[in-house]
Amino acid sequence: MKTPCPRCKRTLEQCGEVVVEGESFAVFQCDDCIEPMQFGGESFDAAYTFALRPDGTTFDPSADDLTE
Ligand SMILES: [Zn+2]
């Protein structure tokens, strides 16, 4: 499965899968879009990672709260 990056429009290959409330979503990672992450009180740069819903919208698979 492939999808364009919502930020830079580069075509990305699916790199994984996340299961939320019994539904699985494709996960993509864009190495061109770096964003700061907070982990253990330190901040570092990480590749932009997002999961894709069937309707084409995206969400952050690492977020604590996935409900909207
Ligand atoms: Zn990108």
Q: What does the pLDDT look like over 16-43, one tens digit per residue?
A: 999 988 999 999 999 999 988 888 899 9
Q: How far is the CA of 9 from the centre of ligand 1 (A)?
A: 6
What's the 11 CA to ligand 1 centre distance in angstroms? Answer: 8
Is residue 45 within 8 Å of 36, Cβ to Cβ?
Answer: yes
Distance (angstroms) between ligand 1 centre and the Cα of 41 equals: 26
- Residues by chain with Cβ below 5 Å of ion ligand 1: 5, 7-8, 30, 32-33
Q: How far, in Å, CA of 25 to CA of 49, rounded?
A: 13
Cβ contacts of 12 within 8 Å, gap of 6 or more: 2, 3, 4, 5, 28, 29, 30
Instruction: Give pTM, 2 decimals.
Output: 0.80
User: What span, in angstroms and rounded, lies between the C-alpha atoms of 65 and 68?
Assistant: 8
Q: What pLDDT sits at residue 37?
A: 82
pLDDT of residue 64: 59
Return the pLDDT at 38: 85
Confidence of residue 59 (pLDDT cuts 50, 70, 90): very high
